[in-house]
Amino acid sequence: MLETARQYRRCKKSPVEKTRAFLEKIRSDTFNAFITVDEAGALQGAQVAEELLKSPDAGALAGIPVAIKDNICTRGVRTTCASKILSGFVPTYDATVVKKLKEQGAVILGKTNLDEFAMGSTTTSSIAGPTRNPRDPSRTPGGSSGGSGAAVAAGLCAGALGSDTGGSIRMPASFCGITGLKPTYGSVSRYGLVAFASSLDQIGPMAPTARDAAVLFDAIKGYDPLDSTSVPRDYGPTDLDGIDLKGLRIGVPEEFFGEGLNQEVKAAVQSGIAVLEDMGGRIVEVGLPHAGYGVAVFYIVATAEASSNLARYDGVRYGLRVQDPLDLGDMYARTRATGFGPEVKRRIMLGTYVLSAGYYDAYYRKASQVRTLIAEDFRSAFSRCDIIAGPTTPVTAFRLDEMIDDPLSLYLLDIYTIPANLAGLPALSMPCGFDSLGLPVGMQLMAPHFREDLLLGAGISFQDRTAYHQEGS
Amino acid sequence: MKITDGEVLHVAALARIRLDNSEARGLRSDLDKILGYMDILAAVDTTGVNPTHHPLPLVNAMRDDREQGCQDLADVLRNAPQHEDGYIAVPRVI
Amino acid sequence: MKAYDTVIGLEVHAQLLTRTKIFCGCSTQSGLPPNTSTCPVCTGMPGTLPVLNRKVVDLGIMLGLATGCRIASRCIFARKNYFYPDLPKGYQITQYEHPLCEGGTILIETGQGIRRIGITRIHMEEDAGKTIHDDKAPSSYVDYNRSGVPLLEIVSEPDITSSDEAVAYLRELRQILMYLGICDGNMEEGSFRCDANVSVKPAGSSRLGTRTELKNMNSFRNVQRALQYEIERHIEIRESGGEVVQETLLWDPSRSVTASMRSKEESRDYRYFPEPDLVPVEIDTAWIDGVRSGLPELPFARRKRFIEQYGLPAYDAGVLTQAKTVADYYEECVRLLDKPKELSNWIMTEVMRVLNEQGIPITGLNVSPKMLTGLIVLIKKGSISGSMAKEVFAEMAATGESAESIVEKRGIGQISDEQELQSLAQEIINSHPDEARKYCSGKTGLLGFFVGMLMKATQGEANPKLASRIMKELLEG
């Protein structure tokens, strides 16, 4: 990304040329990374960028072709959430992040594939069909931002935006061997992000390197008066030179290395941590005693919020409406039965149940209390360390024909990523090695609220020292 | 058993999702398993613990009472499956 | 028949007079073409988010203070989940566990004196859109202009014991809202709506009877009739050994009955939970004090003060304080001219008549307090008579001209110029020497004759008192 920006500066390449080249590559994409490619919009954006680049003030993103997960609204370009229920929906507004990218001259190539409504870990439940992992097309790219992950890994865009509710940026970043950042809750506006679980959702960058992720993150972060959960504060630029790891206290929670973690993943992550130690980091043992409850808490809180957030898909104002409804009730029940896929229905049902009369206290309230304990675990851990390191996922990318069909087992893949969402913490996944099949392994770094500088800085320094992020692509 | 067939149908009615019999059966078994897993939370002592609804302790995000302008009627209706004379039309509500 | 106690609790929804909606910047203006006062937020488009209008909290605090509520130091919003076409998000943003205000009182005057009606809570919420039903059309039609208009829901304690008390409570609450200038109080147009919970129990019993919920009462008269009907219906059922069914009923004003709202009601389960898209509202004492400093005197206190300070009868005080604008007008008049009772009479008769005839509020009246007191000063000075003043007032109200200028232009002022009257009187005496002599010899009854002649000479415009005095002086001098 930064290299492309330098090429533009030296007039070696023009945004229009570069955009054409990406569009050409997308046309022959065999990974099904995109749901919608906006060729006309992209070329128009590239032309605007050419003008911008004539000014010495043009930012690092001017003319950079990026892709947007298709649950982020784009004015005039259909936004599907990979769901039949949003058939034909064309937003009349841009999400704040899209507006920001456009203002800075980024070229938006199109909308990437995802699990329906970002509910999944495999990018297989999309109306547009499954996305394949560019590292091994027989395998899943992870999810739910699998389209963005695959597009970045396959070089179909310079960077992409994903969304992360329980790991949906970090998991595909890990499976696809790229870098993905889930920012601090409230540091990137959610306005225009189609809500899955409002108290957990966060948009973030996915890119080939931590440095590129930092450039994208700097472009989209910041207070937005349209999002009440957006945090008003000074968001300084990230130092793209990385940080000195000397003396950095790296917390390693034993809870993240227990049962269920694949041994090859464990080894790769441990070697990654050893590199950080070698660079001057100091390893500290920390405990996150309630992290193991994260999955249970998440699938109560997230589905409760989702059951309410997805109530607006009722066939009245936009999207699918079934033909010839008998009456209003029939229209609702059949539109929603036809429009939502099985996993979305499962989660709406679960969320409706945990909020319903008689169950609220046992499930929703209890989960919200345990959420507090999980956040407190992190608070005390961060009193002893600066960042926390561990695996992003317990396994590497699995084969599409060996798909896990048990929902609960799939949910448990999120076990290491979910705690950061519950506590609103920033978390980064970057490649730290490979398994015996040559599939990338992701290392996850977590930091206190608003300390993305530590994550990206450590990531940049780590990648300046290692080559995992370059291999295999 | 955590959830009965009757509860599955009740929840589906609340969520306005029509289920056929096999779907309802499948959902009952899935939800039963998932809710069974949720039982691990019962072991956590949460006495006196405040629930967390927002990951950050933000308060008082408000705007001034100033008009920001509305959208064009055409934009309101652009995505509507059915509209008439500026209204969104739905099957008759009895 | 046994004696029964009636237990009524009221839920009022008051639309707030903000410029914009509660969670977006669309105008709250009513009467616009359908769906033209909407945006992606208030039509529930995917990805949009609510942002709270600070003014709504201000107005809620204001009503809370006016009704003696505790203002929450921290309150939160919640989602109430249900499906209806005019509810664009599939949930209403309201408050549930932690409302803005709790524990207040409204005083009402009843036949048995003053009663305190408890206010359980006041909370903020968004209004829904409007669904228009047409029996002949295959469709219903939805207009989202009202979607997101701010409401305060005011829930009373079940302290109300009759339909008359219910109406008194509603009148008082509506008057407070209007005094505060936070709601226009229009019941027909739905900016002041009321639902009621009704039950009856054997007199003196502490066990509450089964309650029914009443909706669709869009005037005080309908509230009174609907409640009366429902109370009698409950008693009749109990007298005949039946049981009241807990249900929601609609008042049908054309047939004067209550009717069940839904035959097969999906059990109501709104699945309230804290709204994750909005953060808590924390209210400190500085905020509350700021609102308090802008609080006007409330109707109940003002009535009391009018009686004490101006020596007005209770009736006058009640009429004058009915609307804040009228009370303000009255007090401005009294400030300009210290004739409280006379001003009260003028406002209750002439001013109110013009307001009714013209169908305008007092703020739209052509006659300012200064002009009204100017007119009364003319009467006091004897420049015009009381009956003339009424004519002059009518013209003032029609034209906006001052009393002085109307009197001068029409030449209807009384002749109070002593010299002019003296010379006229002298002429009359000179031309009636016989009568003058008879008067001097004791026939003083002839004074009337001379004054009459003087009045005739001035075409009735002489100040009668002055004319009489001058004539007497000249005859006796």
The pLDDT tens digits of the residues spanning C125-139 come to: 999 999 998 878 889
Query: Is A90 among the domain residues?
Result: yes
pLDDT at A406: 87
Mean pLDDT is lowest, of A381-385, A393-397, B11-15, C473-477, for: C473-477
List B residues 64-93 in contact with C (Cβ-Cβ < 8 A).
Answer: 64-71, 73, 76-77, 79, 82, 84-93
The pLDDT tens digits of the residues spanning C4-62 come to: 999 999 999 999 999 999 999 999 999 999 999 999 999 999 999 999 999 999 999 99
Tokens of residue B54, six digits: 């927002």
Q: Using CB atoms, which chains have 3+ pairs under 8 A with C? A: A, B
Where are the alpha helices (H) located in C26-130, listed in sequence order? 54-66
The pLDDT tens digits of the residues spanning C386-402 come to: 778 888 999 999 999 99
Domain at C418-476: CATH code: 1.10.10.410
Nearest CA in chain A to C35: A317
Out of A83, A125, A144, A461, pick the active-site residue.
A144
Query: Is A238 among the domain residues?
Result: no
Q: Which of the two residues, C417 and A407, has the higher pLDDT score?
A: A407
Query: Is A328 among the domain residues?
Result: no
Tokens of residue A179, six digits: 């870098």
pLDDT at residue C274 tops 60: yes
Q: Give the Cα-Cα-Cα angle A46, A156, A142 (nearest 5 degrees).
A: 135
Q: Is A436 a catalytic residue?
A: no
Query: Is A103 among the domain residues?
Result: yes
Q: Which of C24, C83, C142, C279 to mutate to test the interface with A (most CBs of A within 10 A)?
A: C83
Nearest CA in chain B to A201: B55
Residues of A in contact with C277 (CB under 8 A): 195, 198, 228-229
B34 — contact with chain A (CB < 8 Å)? yes
Host domain of residue A27: 2-220
Domains of chain B: 5-40 (1.10.20)
pLDDT at C279: 98
Cβ atoms < 10 Å from Cβ of C4: 20
Answer whether C69's CB lies under 8 Å from C122's CB.
yes
Beta-strand relationship, C273-274 and C281-282: unpaired
Residues of C in contact with A89 (CB under 8 A): 46
CB neighbour list of residue C184: distance below 8 Å, 6 or more residues apart: C15, C17, C178, C191, C192
Q: Give the Cα-Cα-Cα angle B51, B56, B61 (nearest 5 degrees).
A: 110
- Averaged pLDDT of chain B: 95
Name the domain count of chain A.
1
Query: Is A186 among the domain residues?
Result: yes
Out of A69, A99, A100, A182, pick the active-site residue.
A69
Tokens of residue C14, six digits: 């008051």
C129 — contact with chain A (CB < 8 Å)? no
Query: Is A380 among the domain residues?
Result: no
Answer whether B53's CB lies under 8 Å from C50's CB.
no
Helical packing angle, C464-476 and C447-457, nearest 10°: 130
Q: Predicted ipTM?
A: 0.97
Cβ atoms < 10 Å from Cβ of C401: 17
pLDDT at A19: 97
Tokens of residue A20, six digits: 């054409």
CB neighbour list of residue A398: distance below 8 Å, 6 or more residues apart: A139, A140, A404
The domain that contains A164 carries what CATH number?
3.90.1300.10
Query: Is A19 among the domain residues?
Result: yes
Amino acid letter, C29: Q
> What gap in Å lies between CA C252 and CA C248, rounded to an integer?
13
> What gap in Å lies between CA C124 and CA C53, rounded to an integer?
11
> What gap in Å lies between CA C408 and CA C421, rounded to an integer?
19
Q: Is A111 a catalytic residue?
A: no
Q: How far is B80 from chain A (nearest CA, A)?
A: 5
C411 — contact with chain A (CB < 8 Å)? no
pLDDT at C409: 77
> What gap in Å lies between CA B13 and CA A352, rounded to an integer?
10
Query: Is A16 among the domain residues?
Result: yes
pLDDT at A472: 52
Task: Report the run of H or E that residue C329 belongs to, with start and end.
Answer: helix C324-336
